[in-house]
Amino acid sequence: SLEIGQVSPFLDDLRKYFKTNKPQFQEILSATKTFTEEAEALLKEGIQEQMERFLLPE
């Protein structure tokens, strides 16, 4: 889990991660204007991947 002081840096890194590694997430949201099952799966996958990367240095 994240400490309070880690939330803002995590969110910044998560946004960058999605722009670089999961561009289809934004494409789905922009094209459909809805939160589809595919978008949800990408979001969950991206959060899990980023949590692993973010917490790895500890």
**CA torsion, ordered 24, 29, 31, 36, to nearest 10 deg:** 90
Reported residue count of the chain is 58
Question: What is the mean pLDDT for each group of 10 consecutive residues in the chain (58 residues)?
Answer: 90 95 96 97 96 79
CA-based torsion, 23, 28, 31, 34: positive or negative: negative
Where do we find the tokens 């949800």?
Answer: 40
The torsion angles phi and psi of 56, rounded to 5 degrees, stand at -55, -45
Total of domains in the chain: 1
Give the Cα separation of 56 and 38 in Å (integer). 27
The predicted structure's pLDDT at residue 56: 79
The predicted structure's pLDDT at residue 55: 82
The model carries a pTM of: 0.80
Domain ranges, residue 11:
4-55
